[in-house]
Amino acid sequence: MSAPAVSVVVPTRNRGDYLDVTLASLSSQRAGAAYEIVVVDDNSTDATRVVAEGHGVPVKPVGPPGGLNASRNTGVAETTGALVAFVDDDIWAPPGWLAALLDGAARHPEAEAFGGPIRARFEGPAPRACGREAPPITTLDLGGVDRPAEMVWGANFAVRRSAIERLGPFDPAVAGHGDEEDWLIALTATGGQIVYLAGAGVDHRRVGDDARLRSLSLAAFRRGRAAKRSERRRGRAPGGATDLRNLAGAGWHTVRRRCPQGLIMGAHSAGRLAETLRRP
């Protein structure tokens, strides 16, 4: 067999139903080159292993101490591609995603990291939106053409293996928010470049109860707390007054626009404020 041009790493934990869709899409890529997929399992207790094996994809246990960045490091150690692509276990990749990623990496030999569009996709009933707020899950849209980027997100990004060898692994102590961001900040601080590849997009899925207002609000609250911790770690955290203003603005948005997604925005600000108040 040819050596893989790209290795696709899928960290996961107890999301077998989502993983099934993700692996089906990854296994059907029209890449035009050899590629490998590995699932890194963070101590799942559901049918994760059975799902992966059903797609013919190997499953590797996460190395200590566990968590998303430890899973990424395990995936890097268990693969050989010169390009390492990381995706979340709740995405769907169109058949041309991997080819677009490989083509983009070839077009931009100066870049060491890449990201692509991340589109929100809700399957089943979801809170109504008025169109004036960002989607309530992680998305990315920097336009319809390739361009340099300051940051890309972990649901859909790739790095050259040589960059990992140069900078070192992802920090497993960083968890909950900014897992990949600190590594990418270090990359750009040492002269590395990130490029947004407009053609290498994926769908970020929410299904069933996960797409409902309560679940999205709870997730936003947790993200808000984690975001505040991440900013504090970097010495960039604004004060609680900013979070209070944002919380009030979300309340105004909800009432004025009759927009349920304003509650999700408010939950994110409330999480940030709660983390501020928790600080000793």
Spans of all domains in the chain = 6-207, 213-278
Entry pTM: 0.93
Fold of 6-207: Spore Coat Polysaccharide Biosynthesis Protein SpsA; Chain A (3.90.550)
Q: Alpha-carbon distance 227 to 80, whole Å? A: 33
**Does an H or E element contain 7, and which?**
strand 6-12
- Edge-first strand order for the sheet with 35-41 is 59-61, 35-41, 6-12, 83-87, 156-160, 113-115, 194-196, 147-148
Q: Alpha-carbon distance 139 to 120, whole Å? A: 6
Indicate the angle between helix axes 261-278 and 240-256, nearest 10 degrees: 160
* Count of positions (residues) in the chain: 280
Going residue by residue through the chain, which has 280 residues, state the pLDDT in tens, using 9 for 90 and above: 578 999 999 999 999 999 999 999 999 999 999 999 999 999 999 999 999 999 999 999 998 888 999 999 999 999 999 999 999 999 999 999 999 999 999 999 999 999 999 999 999 889 988 888 889 999 999 999 999 999 999 999 999 999 999 999 999 988 777 789 999 999 999 999 999 999 999 999 999 999 999 999 999 999 999 888 888 887 776 677 888 898 999 999 999 889 989 999 999 999 999 988 885 5
